[in-house]
Amino acid sequence: MCGIIGYIGPRDISSVLLTGLKRLEYRGYDSAGMTINNPDGLATFKAVGKIMELEKKISGRDLAGNLGIAHTRWATHGEPNEINAHPHLDAKGEVAIVHNGIIENYYALKDFLIKEGFKIVSDTDSEIVAHLIQKFHNGDFSESVAKALELIEGTFGLAIVQKGENKIIAARRGSPLVLGLGEGEMFIASDVSAVLDYTKRIIYLNDDELAIVEKDSYSVKNLKGEEVNKKVHEIKWTLDQIEKKGFKHFMLKEIFEQPEAIINTLRGRIKEGKIKLSLDLNMNSLKRIIIVACGTSWHSALIGKHLLEKIAGVPVEVDYASEFRYRDPLIREGDLVIVISQSGETADTLAALREAKARGAKILGIVNVVGSTISREVDSGIYLHAGPEIGVASTKAFTVQVVDLLLLALFLRQEKGLDLQKDIIRNLETLPEKIREALGQSDSIRELAEKFVNCKNILYLGRGLNFPVALEGALKLKEISYIHAEGYPAAEMKHGPIALIDKDMPALFIATRDNTYEKILSNMEEIKARGGEIIAVVNEDDKKVIGLAGSIIKVPSVSCELTPVVNAIPMQLFAYHVADLRGIDMDKPRNLAKSVTVE
């Protein structure tokens, strides 16, 4: 996904911009570029491919200047090439912009500009912004930007420079943007990690805000030109937390961080056997919950449905955010909409949140990234406190989401005056230790991965609470190893997919003990009878599955409600090791981005 960094101050401009771009690499990109405002005008450099290519283009040049903007592009309109890479400039080369988001009325604006005599050179929607600003140029930089923005429909995170101006203008609608405050220097970025090398003092811009940034000062206005007072946030995440800590990949580091992440999410939320959540919502009138999310977060929502219905006795519906937003959803009195998102920036989830809000629902967010757009737009929230998740494939956010949904279910039960299930609470407190035990299987899971590294398809099967874990296991494998994998409820096999079973279609069963255990054994028999190879995730002391499965992964026993968390660990490790053995950089799998901020 595209990334933005801007800088104004005394440091070496190109190295600040390059460092920022490298911090944004994890988001995924296909080209990069920068513009430096130097005494001779706007010097712009672009390159397709890695940031290293951009570095080669600028090496050996004298890049004097005290402000500049840079961008990593992930193509949406127009192929990845140098012309389409940002920054984009107006025809006179006086205005340069970098843009994240999508301009929806781009064709209309393009026609309008062409009629006015402007020459558009790229295939992007972004370029027109530079021309519009130039068109409205009247000597007042921020006024011409504001006028241009009035015409734009769609989403933007923008950083803009103009020849001869000692300031950068940033503007946001629907695409995240922050200001980083330094001493005699200022930063603009789409992501806090791009500026953490230099400052931890951050301002989050809201939609329809425009910031005028000079080296010693800044001001933020809304699009009506009214001054807005902004809170300065002190960021606690260190760069060290963000880097790999000796693990080969971010994904592996994040898998191994799960015990710590669960300790952090539980901290202060269980006291003397009671659940403490400060939710600013009236739960007495609660009649129904609707959970919306995408991808891995949607899988945790499916587990949440089981937990909330069983423990709190509240009916729950789960929807893909992308479907919910367009299906004219019915919101009734007593409905609570829960949005789940690691990044807090997923465009579909954000749109679903806004749709639900417009229809009168109260919104509860379960979000990891503090200060993200979703976290700021919800009525109340539960932060995951899982720490930064850099690997594109979500791991620790998933298990922590499930833990927080369980906490919420217990909390709602407590609010109803029902007895709390003390054994679940005790199990929650020992969960980090159980996760460590499950992580101890990493080496034997790698051996198993060696056996399946060349297979073309795998079926993931589970039931009840562990059916969504099967979905998640299949998603992990396909997105990072490019092996086709599907998750199914195990009993559904006989209604069609069983036709696929032969010796080349292994089936991975989640077969830890719960109320569906005996049924799963029969489902395994059905596969075995058709010559299918079985991999099974079982409890350490299991005796029955051993005879049926060719390969076994053992996990510690936990109470039934926590099995999805423990069983997710071998799913993640198996996918990781298969991808690593196939030589794939699973931190940046092809075609994927960490945070999907476009529709």
Q: How far is 264 from 438, CA to CA, in rounded Å?
A: 19
Secondary structure class of 124 (helix, strand, coil): coil
Q: Which tokens in the block code for residue 142? A: 């921020």
- By C-beta, is 106 or 574 nearer to ligand F6R? 574
DSSP 8-state class, residue 404: H
Residue 79: CB minimum distance to ligand F6R, A? 24
Q: Using CB under 6 A, list all residues that contact ligand F6R.
A: 294-297, 341-343, 346, 349, 393-394, 475, 479, 595-596
Q: Quickly list DSSP for 389-412.
A: --SSS--HHHHHHHHHHHHHHHHH
Cβ closer to ligand F6R: 481 or 595?
Answer: 595
Judged by beta carbon, residue 297 or residue 512, the one nearer ligand F6R is: 297
Bridge-based pairing state of the strands 288-293 and 316-320: parallel
The distance of closest approach from Cβ of residue 176 to ligand F6R in the complex, given in angstroms and rounded to an integer, is 12
28 forms beta bridges with none
Catalytic residue among 2, 135, 396, 560: 2
User: Facing residues of 485 across strands?
Assistant: 458
- In this chain, which residue has its C-beta nearest to ligand F6R? 295
The phi and psi torsions of 531 (rounded to 5 degrees) equal 80, 10
Structure tokens at 363: 């919104």
Distances (CA, A) of 550 to 233, 524, 579: 53, 11, 22
Q: Is 2 labeled as catalytic in the residue annotation? A: yes
Locate 366 and state its tokens: 């379960």
Beta carbon nearer to ligand F6R, 94 or 479: 479
Give the CA distances from residue 459 to residues 472, 479, 533, in Å, rounded to whole numbers and listed in that order: 12, 15, 10
> By the 8 A CB rule, do 248 and 41 touch?
no
Q: How far is the CB of 478 from ligand F6R (least distance, A)?
A: 10
11: left (phi over 0), alpha (psi -120 to 50) or beta: beta
The one-character DSSP state at 418 is: P
Q: Which of 305, 362, 434, 594 is catalytic?
A: 594
Whether 458 and 508 have beta carbons less than 8 Å apart is answered as: yes
Q: How far is the CB of 293 from ligand F6R (least distance, A)?
A: 6
In whole angstroms, give the CA distance from residue 551 to residue 451: 10
Nearer to ligand F6R, 350 or 493 (CB): 350
Beta carbon of residue 398, minimum distance to ligand F6R (angstroms, whole number): 8
Output 118 or 398, the one with its CB closest to ligand F6R.
Answer: 398
Smallest separation, CB 281 to ligand F6R (Å): 21
Residues with catalytic roles: 2, 594
